[in-house]
Amino acid sequence: MSSESMPIAGAGNLPGAARRVWLETLHEWLITVDHKKLGLMYIGYALFFLVVGGIEATIIRIQLAVPHAHFVSPEVFNRMFTMHGTTMIFFVAMPVLFGFANYLVPLMIGARDMAFPRLNAFSFWMTAFGGLLLYFSFLGGDGLYGAGSAPDVGWWAYAPLTSKAFSRGHSTDYWTVSLLASGFGTIGTAVNLVATILSMRCRGMTLGKMPLLAWLNLVMSGMLLFTITPLTAAQIMLMVDRYLDGHFFDTHAGGSAAIWMHFFWIFGHPEVYVLIIPCFAFVSEIVPVFSRKPIFGYPVMVAATVAIGGVSMSVWAHHMYTIGMTSYENAFFVLTTLAVGVPTGIKIFNWLGTMWGGKIRYAPPMMFCLGFLFQFLIAGLTGIMLGSAPFDWQLGNSYFVVAHFHYVIVGGILFALFAAFYYWYPKMTGRMLNDTLGKWHFWVFLIGFHLTFDFMHIPGLLGMPRRIYTYEPGRGWAIWNMIATIGVAFQIAGILIFVFNLVHSYFRGRVAGDDPWDAWTLEWATSSPPAACNFAVLPEVRSRRPLWDLKHPEDPDWKYE
């Protein structure tokens, strides 16, 4: 959204010329390898799919609002929850986080671009292509057999449901190929981020002086290398089964359905940490600035993140307690799962420690961070509950699980993302997001979130399984489902306020200046939006808060660090 993107103004009376300028701008964005443009494209792409996935969620919730509803057919219902889950994880959460990482990491480590700019563009277009393929299935999924449209096997696509006998047509193939394609893009991004963070830092920025955002994205990318790839491997196996009549997951020929679960969750569990760690990164940057204190316990934060990254690679089978494992396996996965809670708890205390005694400013970025802290804590607690095998035998595959992970993903990830939008939008566009609208957005969305997901725990405890098309009246589930659906209306209203704010402030917002929050990391030393080369002269740093040093020459950080 740099100045080039608005060339039409002033050329209004020359339609031909205007069209040419417009085409040139489009061309420029299509062929760009600039990390800031690619970052914005990731973010825009993800926001689009957020709306699409949100519509699917709304359809699911309307269908479940009352017993015996027939708002959509059972087939459409299955497609909706499959597409909703797949879209939100792979085409909303991952791209939007990659977008912020792309935009922010080079700026914060004082570099002019990512390590491999063309690989960066390749990754984006692979991701974009993956999303298109997934949605093309609505048209092309019919295939030769005339069965099915969009995929309907759930986001985890358990075998043998994905075998040819049970998934006719091509919808499952679109699901597979789409995730393979975007997976290659993801591997590219991970390679690129690691290489950027290790090899492109400006003078003086040792690993111990990197902003936490860079550290956390380093851990996240390192994890991705080992977690997205098992999914890639499993998808290749599934393709072998479906196209070449292989037997990997074919139980008639001795294959195993459980091994697909293992492969999927070896990816799936670390994946949820891949999503939350960049959100920890946002919070770790925003909370100090809005508490006017440096982050509390920087080395401990880094160590805790590395620990989370490591341990979360060995907890995957807590998604599989109910398939019946040996007691040794159960014990192992319970212990590792509960162990993840320790470094996570350490982080929460560090953020609290940062706020303790600080001068807290209640602007929208900070408000969303506080929401994040509160909600992520509760979500972690229900996670620990589900992590205990006996509890999970009771509640696995129920709405309690759905409530748990939406508490993390909406209450945690989405809230941290909103905080990041309010915090970095001025850098990206040069204008502030409107404060009042931001507060409305916060409160309306907060109410909607709690209406939907607090009350969703209850039908889970009462035994309502997930992924059911509809249910009988008289089981005590109806009222809670109704409340959850009402919450969706509030959430939609909140999102509309947010989108309106994004568009409105782009044209009318208060001009931000380079450093509207009086912050301390390098991105605020560039102009807003930053020039194509980011820094005219590459910076040199001596502490973790280079802009503090610059603003307070009498009391610089590097004397103490």
Partner 1 sequence: MTIPQTLPSSPWTLPSRGRVGMFCFIAAEASIFTIFVVAYLFYLGKSVSGPTPREVLELPIFSSVCLLSSSLTIHLAVEFLRKGKSGAFRAAWGLTLLLGAIFLAATGLEWRRLIVEKGLTISTNLFGTTYYSLVGLHASHVTGGLIGLAVVMVLALAGKVRPEHSGPVDVLSLYWHFVDAVWVVVFTVVYVIGR
Contact residues: partner 1, CB under 8 A: 110, 115-116, 187, 190-192, 194-196, 198-201, 203-204, 221, 225-226, 228-230, 232-234, 236-237, 240-241, 244-248, 252-256, 259, 263, 266, 514-515, 522, 524-525, 535-542, 546-547, 550
Q: Using CB under 5 A, which of the segments 268-276, 325-333, 346-354, 501-509 binds Cu ion?
A: 268-276
- Distance from C-alpha of 371 to C-alpha of 282, rounded to nearest angstrom: 13
Residue whose C-alpha is closest to residue 134's, from 105, 176, 93, 169:
176
Nearer residue to partner 1 within complex by CB, 230 or 412? 230
- Is-contact 213 286, C-beta < 8 A? no
Shortest distance (Å) from residue 225 CB to ligand HEM: 19
Min CB(179)–ligand HEM separation in Å: 15
Residues with Cβ within 8 Å of 163's Cβ and at least 6 positions away in sequence, in order, are 241, 242, 249, 250
Contact between 404 and Cu ion (CB under 5 A)? no
Phi, psi angle pair for 540, to nearest 5°: -135, 135
Among 36, 61, 170, 269, binds Cu ion (CB under 5 A): 269
Residue 402, phi then psi, degrees to nearest 5: -60, -40
Burial category of 14 from C-beta neighbours within 10 Å (exposed 0-12, middle 13-18, buried 19 and up) = exposed
Task: Supply the DSSP symbol for 168.
Answer: -
Give the integer Cα–Cα distance in Å for 10 and 253.
69
Residue 344, binding choice from ligand HEM, partner 1, Cu ion, none, Cβ under 5 to 8 Å by partner class: ligand HEM
State both tokens at 62: 């309307």
Which residue is nearest to Cu ion, using beta carbons? 269
DSSP designation for 89: I
State the residue number with the nearest CB to ligand HEM: 383
CB of 118 to partner 1, least distance (A): 12
Q: Which amino acid is at 228?
A: I
Instruction: Say if residues 149 and 142 touch (Cβ distance below 8 Å).
Output: yes
Q: Give yes or no for residue 347 binding Cu ion (CB under 5 A).
A: no
CB of 522 to partner 1, least distance (A): 7
Residue 191 interacts with which of Cu ion, ligand HEM, partner 1, none, CB < 5 to 8 Å by class: partner 1
Question: Hey, what amino acid is at 523?
Answer: E
Q: Which residue lies nearer to ligand HEM by CB, 54 or 106?
A: 54
Least separation in angstroms between CB 397 and ligand HEM: 6
Report how far residue 64's alpha carbon sits from residue 290's, in angstroms, rounded to the nearest whole number: 41
Which residue number, 47 or 401, has a Cβ lying nearer to ligand HEM? 401
Measured from the CB atom, is 166 or 393 closer to Cu ion?
Answer: 393
Choosing among partner 1, Cu ion, ligand HEM, none, which partner's interface includes residue 401 (Cβ < 5 to 8 Å by kind)? ligand HEM
**406 lines the binding site for Cu ion (CB under 5 A):** no
Q: Is 252:219 a contact under the CB 8 Å cutoff?
A: no
Which residue's CB is nearer to partner 1, number 91 or number 248?
Answer: 248
Structure tokens at 360: 């807290």
97 binds, among partner 1, Cu ion, ligand HEM, none (CB under 5 to 8 A by kind): none
Which parts of this chain interact with ligand HEM (CB under 6 A)? 156, 272, 275-276, 318-319, 337, 340-341, 344, 380, 383-384, 386-387, 392, 396, 401, 404-405, 408-409, 413
Helices (H) and strands (E) in the chain, counts: 17, 0
C-alpha distances out from residue 147 to 137, 172, 273, 330, Å: 12, 11, 36, 40
Smallest distance, Å, CB 91 to partner 1? 21
Angle (CA) 538 542 548, round 5°: 90
How far is Cα of residue 140 from the mean position of the Cα atoms in its chain?
28
Closest C-alpha to 399, from 307, 465, 480, 452 = 465
Is the CB of 156 or the CB of 535 nearer to ligand HEM? 156
Question: 111 or 414, CB closer to partner 1?
Answer: 111
Nearer to ligand HEM, 40 or 64 (CB): 64
Residue 255 near which of partner 1, ligand HEM, Cu ion, none (CB within 5-8 Å, type-dependent) = partner 1
Smallest distance, ligand HEM to C-beta of residue 398, A: 8
* Shortest Å distance, C-beta 174 to ligand HEM: 20
Q: State the greatest distance between any 2 C-alpha atoms of the chain, in Å, as a whole number.
A: 76
Cα–Cα distance between 404 and 393 in angstroms, integer?
Answer: 15
- Closest to 181 (Cα-Cα) out of 91, 266, 273: 91
CB of 98 to partner 1, least distance (A): 15
Distance (Å, rounded) from C-alpha 84 to C-alpha 488?
15
Residue 463 binds which of partner 1, Cu ion, ligand HEM, none (CB < 5-8 A, kind-dependent): none
Q: Nearer Cβ to ligand HEM, position 222 or 460? A: 460
Q: Rule CB under 5 A: which residues touch Cu ion?
A: 269
